[in-house]
Amino acid sequence: MKILHNHALLPYNTFRIDAKAANFFEVFSVEDLRAVLRHGIKPVLVLGGGSNLLFTHDVPGLVVKNSLPGIRVVRKFSNKVWVAVGGGVVWHDFVCWAVGQGYGGVENLSLIPGTVGASPVQNIGAYGVELKDVFVRLSAVHLETGEQRSFSKASCRFGYRDSIFKQELKGQYCITSVVFSLTQHQHQLNLSYGDIRKTLEVEQVHTPSIADVSRAVVNIRRSKLPDPAEIGNCGSFFKNPETDPAVLDQIRLHYPDAPHYTLPDGREKIPAGWLIEQCGWKGKRVGNTGSYEKQALVLVNYGGATGAEVQRLALNIIESVQQAFGIRLEPEVNIR
Ligand SMILES: Cc1cc2nc3c(=O)[nH]c(=O)nc-3n(C[C@H](O)[C@H](O)[C@H](O)COP(=O)(O)OP(=O)(O)OC[C@H]3O[C@@H](n4cnc5c(N)ncnc54)[C@H](O)[C@@H]3O)c2cc1C
């Protein structure tokens, strides 16, 4: 068992924050994980691709880097195929595998950074699809007892960028594998969200395949979001707030064209990026950090920013939006 000490986390987080882990252990099998736990060391952080984490200081305990591999078909029936995927598999590699096999359901989630093991934690979503739409169950190991447990969809309590693993069970389990239900044929394509349909029309694709949709999503994302390999970021820093209709009415007195989306329960979802932009933050640089020029919701590290610096900027943005609109933004990113 090789535990590394005082290990640099810079290569392991897409915000490119220079933090250190007091102890660091990479797991390639559930047995590796159990071996560490048998030594009585409780990991303080399970790390996937580090694409939804902001380190504001060094991590004092043990960081477990999840590199559990494997993609295998476990069941085929009627139009469905169930696929079990190791928690350490890179999410987009799994999407590419599915598209390559002709299996549908995850093409709209193309190019989301991170690992499969982290995908249920915040119920990742993009372009009208969420992880819960294709989720069957997951396996996880309890970080104190080493006990293995299976979680059904209901027991994960998925919500908007949320699950039980961000709430009551936060930091208690390592998700070791996830089973997905995909379609083998008669795919239900979801083209209505964002620019997918428009992009396909420009490409003159009239009867799109899942590969066409995946390619369109990749192209749209590349044109809108900063590539973490070039500029440090964690994608959307804040969640889109859900408010009472009265709050939206108030905003519309001054901004009649304020964008919003009415939820099934009658509440209104307002794009956080729009709120931040109205407060003048879009493209604004503060020291080594700032709000991205093409999307105000994305905070970036221009190089050399500390986590505390990014957190300060986030707090200032929260304060501005609160003062201007009476809405308190909540971070989507996990701040440590
Ligand atoms: C450019 C960019 C675009 C993005 N776009 C989207 C998007 O469209 N939609 C979206 O939903 N997200 C998006 N994200 C956020 C991010 O990609 C997802 O949240 C992703 O699921 C994080 O995976 P990760 O492996 O990097 O997790 P990490 O950042 O390593 O960890 C995130 C949290 O999950 C916990 N965790 C990680 N792995 C496990 C595990 N195996 N078991 C238990 N807990 C675990 C960690 O402890 C931490 O609390 C984007 C990020 C970037 C940088």
Do 292 and 281 touch, CB atoms closer than 8 A? no
Q: How far is the CA of 85 from the centre of ligand 1 (A)?
A: 16
User: Whose structure tokens read 């003048």?
Assistant: 280
Please tell me the distance from the alpha carbon of residue 253 to that of residue 267, in angstroms, as a whole number: 18
Q: What is the pLDDT of residue 193?
A: 87
Q: Is the CB of 109 under 6 A from ligand 1?
A: no
Task: Tell me: pLDDT of 1 over 80.
Answer: no
Which residues are paired to 141 by β-bridges? 148, 174
- Which candidate in 51, 139, 236, 291 is catalytic? 236
Taking only the tens place, the pLDDT of each residue in 123-165 is 999 999 999 999 999 999 999 999 999 999 999 999 999 999 9
Taking only the tens place, the pLDDT of each residue in 217-234 is 999 999 999 999 999 999
Angle of helix 210-224 relative to helix 91-101, nearest 10 degrees, comes to 150
Coil vs helix vs strand at 320: helix
Task: Tell me: pLDDT of 41 over 90.
Answer: no
pTM of this prediction? 0.95
Q: Is the CB of 46 under 6 A from ligand 1?
A: yes
The verdict on whether 197 is a catalytic residue reads: no
Please tell me the distance from the alpha carbon of residue 26 to that of residue 40, in angstroms, as a whole number: 17
Taking only the tens place, the pLDDT of each residue in 255-266 is 999 999 999 999
Coil vs helix vs strand at 309: helix
Lowest-confidence pick of 34-38, 237-241, 274-278, 311-315: 34-38
The verdict on whether 78 is a catalytic residue reads: no
The verdict on whether 107 is a catalytic residue reads: no
Please tell me the distance from the alpha carbon of residue 312 to that of residue 326, in angstroms, as a whole number: 20
| Ligand 1, atom 50: closest residue by C-alpha | 235
Both ends of the chain: CA-CA distance in Å?
26
Do 127 and 134 touch, CB atoms closer than 8 A? no
CA-176 nearest atom, ligand 1? 41
Computed over every residue of the chain, the mean pLDDT equals 96
Taking only the tens place, the pLDDT of each residue in 154-213 is 999 999 999 999 999 999 999 999 999 999 999 999 999 879 999 999 999 999 999 999
Domains of the chain: 4-66 (3.30.43.10), 71-224 (3.30.465.10), 232-335 (3.90.78.10)
Q: How far is the CA of 332 from the centre of ligand 1 (A)?
A: 10
Do 84 and 177 touch, CB atoms closer than 8 A? yes
Q: How far is the CA of 280 from the centre of ligand 1 (A)?
A: 28
Which residues are paired to 66 by β-bridges? 27
- Which candidate in 16, 137, 161, 215 is catalytic? 161
Task: Tell me: pLDDT of 43 over 90.
Answer: no
